Amino acid sequence: MGIVNVTPDSFSDGGLYLQAPAAVAHAQRLLAEGADILDVGGESTRPGAQPVSAQEELRRVLPVVEGIAAIDSPQAGPAPRTGSAGPQISIDTSKASVAAAALRAGASLVNDVSALRADPDMAGVVADAGAECCLMHMLGEPRTMQRDPRYGDVVDEVKAFLTQRLEFAVGEGISEELIMLDPGIGFGKTVAHNLELLDRLDELTGLGRPLVVGTSRKSFLARVIADSQGPVIADSQGPGGSEERGRRLAGTIATNVLALERGASVFRVHDVAPVRDALALAAATLHGRWTARRRGTTPRS
């Protein structure tokens, strides 16, 4: 799952793809690198992020969804490395009106970080469209989620939450076979919580749904590596510094390989090519091969 942020304030690439042509060109690059799903978002969910209106979110994402939906035309540019007819488009939103418009424009998956809690109309939109959806665990909401998050047992609590939200979604008419689950790495978790979730990710496979993991470029990766290897050099501080970027990419690859081994099958990343290659090699070692996901099917690791 390649990330297409159409935002000015996302933690890693905010502002780079705010204009629709740049975002669609970025999506084409991700497809050429081997992305199977393109996740388009118009509202940052980084810690402390401020909400935007539905009107503004639609203004940002709708031209991008429409542009990506046209990529499989002969004039649209390079074909996906996977050889599929065209990309599956995911809309990263918690607003029903944004999801509905994106689904009409060509999206077929709703990635809702609120797990259908933020908007009472969201479950109905997904069910009526027969769309896939991803339900994610988050403690609180983006503005407050990193203010001293606490759990008794983070894995048990995340599992209980995802179980409840899965049951809710099915009760609202969403087919269980169209639901994916995301433990929400970095969403209301400390470094220790994130590592515990990764270590015990296999405990969530018992829920019977595909697991989505999103560790890409997150700050806890560089913090763990810095703690073990020494502080980042002064002129490379922050996500824009070359050493910091390298540590976050290395951490992204390592955590996705670990997640694959523990049962995850959808990997939400900024850097598609290196992560996909690492997953292919890991899968060849662990299972024989990694079969890329196709829309409407259950991913297999």
Which residues have a catalytic role annotated? Answer: 218, 268
Q: Which of 247, 253, 257, 244 is nearest to 271 (CA)?
A: 253
Query: How far apart, in whole angstroms, are the C-alpha atoms of residue 225 and residue 244?
Result: 10
Number of neighbours of residue 135 by Cβ within 10 angstroms: 27
Query: How far apart, in whole angstroms, are the C-alpha atoms of residue 40 and residue 108?
Result: 12
Q: Which of 253, 193, 184 is nearest to 217 (CA)?
A: 253
Q: Using alpha carbons, list the distances in angstroms from residue 296 to 81, 137, 237, 269, 279.
A: 19, 23, 42, 21, 22
Query: How far apart, in whole angstroms, are the C-alpha atoms of residue 28 and residue 30?
Result: 5
